Chains A and B, each alone.
Chain A
């Protein structure tokens, strides 16, 4: 599904990613862990198409297509979803209007007619209950005045609405209390199918108690330095990142 080969990325001349290789297959959950500044969020942003970054080398194929050549909106319509670490507040744009526009753009891309107002509201109701999001939140402007937890829940709600093939969740667990964490994790688990895949980016092992990964990668200094099963997350929890740093000569 996703194939990243030797990806090098810099920002303002500074190298952030220094040769990432990663393969994700349908049905898999990958966790990417690593200390602060390792390049985890950069990787997520580059996959979603943020233009602040410079790809200097390497390629990213998504379902056989060159992802790096696509505009962010086209990546989304191809099935990539970025769950933002810091979801943006957009005063004056209602969540309903935002989601309706997005869902219909996705439908247009697939050659489908736009949803009628009543079908759309029905879809919203379904997805809201699936991810246990409060009705009141969707009546307001996008993320405006939301708490940290509400913002993250809203990300999962949007993911449920758009049904991506590959979700990249960037530090979705940061700033979440245990209840919100459980809601977010349940949402992700319910949305999981044999055909889609998830990349969970996180600092801590805690989220992985709820979303169980098939593969865990450690990203350090712009490279994936270790890849193993879910037990690696527990080892990192126990020992921290220092031994990784030592192994890699820093």
Chain B
């Protein structure tokens, strides 16, 4: 096995030798950001377990693999619109596709979007809408704290860009499906930017769909700025195969009176690490950060979250729940910062875990750093087994043991699903989670949304 220095050196070589390709087609702002990010990466490297924030996730095996890297858009030899069709009944969305992290060149035109809304690739946005793009790109994702984010920024070429102008309400959710399709093992870097202006409203669903069984490492970073009075939902569905590594970092900045709900649902994947950072940068923001993970076999999931109450009078609710079976392992870290002048802050956090086997492992760590004195904060973490009394109660009414267990697990998970504010999506996720808990989705070759087994 390679050591961490070899891995870091390989990335330095990639950056230097591929520099021409990296700069090609990217705007000056992207390339300037890239240069600085690479310097940060050179200092930080890929985080190892010696890094407190990555104590429970060993990334060396994830990176220690000869991946193919595409520094240029690869033409797709089939029509992805034909191959992939989302079949969720009644889930009517504005759908766009990405291919291995790049905005697909053959996306159908979204005809139903309100005037002024922009949905396109990041490269295209940098070129066509520099005044919006440059005001936000690289402003929220911190490259000097996490080597994974620095690496993404150093290698970032494309991803999706969504702009919702002032006062515009998008009724139909925008759905972004990243299709992973390759004839070789692949590392995909995806960089996304979402800008929601004042009084605007949008719901975005992001999902993955592995079309081939190669080993994938996806390193994606999404930056989001939600302006005053805006309402924004971000649903992330992770459902790849066991041979995949998902590194997903999201940075959300909120302005005054904005309301954000995110829900990250990890159904399947080899190794999943979610970094979720929120900064409540003006007063009277509301943030809801939810997540659910259902892991079995040797799967690993790590949700690392940080909610920064930078200004007074904001409310945050955070709730993550997980069901762990077999030898699955996982971690949750919940950081809440309440800065010195952020009085009247309300911050609530909880993490509940259900362990179904003796070998499943979860490490949960709430971490509250409170520098203000007039705040309401709470946190709680539980790790437990199936409630035997509840199980017997259901069985004593004639429900067989398997079904009774299923009902209890589903009830446990449903608390997170019911927070979804898109009704057909909620029903679909309910159905998927029910199937997933029954063991009917395994080595799923289709995306969570389109799963039609």
Q: Footprint of B on A, CB under 8 Å?
A: 48-50, 71-73, 75-77, 81-82, 84, 87-88, 90-93, 97-98, 101-102, 105-106, 109, 141-142, 158, 162
Look across to chain A and name the residue whose beta carbon is closest to the beta carbon of B403. Answer: A101
Residues of A with C-beta under 8 A to B400: 71, 73, 105
Look across to chain B and name the residue whose beta carbon is closest to the beta carbon of A107. Answer: B398
Residues of B with C-beta under 8 A to A88: 387, 389-390, 392-393
Residues of B with C-beta under 8 A to A50: 392
Interface: B407 (CB within 8 A): yes
Q: Are B390 and A92 in contact (CB under 8 A)?
A: no
Please list 20 pairs of residues, one from A and one from B, whose beta carbons are closer than 8 Å in the complex, sorted by A's number. A49-B395, A50-B392, A71-B401, A73-B400, A73-B401, A76-B396, A76-B398, A87-B393, A88-B387, A88-B393, A90-B393, A90-B394, A90-B408, A92-B414, A93-B407, A98-B394, A98-B397, A101-B407, A102-B397, A162-B397
B372-397 contact mask (Cβ, 8 Å, vs A): 1 or 0: 00000000000000010110111111
Residues of B with C-beta under 8 A to A101: 399, 403, 407
**Cβ-neighbour of A93 out of B396, B398, B411 (below 8 A):** B411
* 3 smallest beta-carbon distances between A and B, as pairs: A92-B411, A76-B398, A72-B395
| Count of A-B residue pairs with CB < 8 Å | 72
Look across to chain A and name the residue whose beta carbon is closest to the beta carbon of B410. Answer: A92
Interface: B415 (CB within 8 A): yes
Residues of B with C-beta under 8 A to A141: 411
**Cβ-neighbour of B398 out of A90, A91, A97, A105 (below 8 A):** A105
A10 → chain B closest CB, angstroms = 19
Residues of A with C-beta under 8 A to B410: 92
Chain B: how many interface residues by the 8 Å CB criterion?
22
Q: Are A76 and B397 in contact (CB under 8 A)?
A: yes
Interface: B412 (CB within 8 A): yes
Q: Footprint of A on B, CB under 8 Å?
A: 387, 389-390, 392-401, 403-404, 407-408, 410-412, 414-415
Q: Are A90 and B411 in contact (CB under 8 A)?
A: yes
Residues of A with C-beta under 8 A to B396: 48-49, 72-73, 75-76, 81-82, 84
**Cβ-neighbour of B395 out of A76, A81, A87 (below 8 A):** A76
Residues of B with C-beta under 8 A to A87: 393
* Most A Cβ at <10 Å: residue of B387, B392, B393, B395: B393
Q: Are A102 and B407 in contact (CB under 8 A)?
A: no
Q: Are B415 and A102 in contact (CB under 8 A)?
A: no
* Most A Cβ at <10 Å: residue of B395, B396, B399, B410: B396
Query: CA separation between A102 and B392, bound complex, in Å?
Result: 13
Query: CA separation between A19 and B403, bound complex, in Å?
Result: 35
Residues of A with C-beta under 8 A to B415: 91-92
B15 → chain A closest CB, angstroms = 49
Look across to chain B and name the residue whose beta carbon is closest to the beta carbon of A72. Answer: B395
Q: Are A84 and B414 in contact (CB under 8 A)?
A: no
Look across to chain B and name the residue whose beta carbon is closest to the beta carbon of A97. Answer: B407
Residues of B with C-beta under 8 A to A84: 393, 396
Residues of B with C-beta under 8 A to A162: 397-398
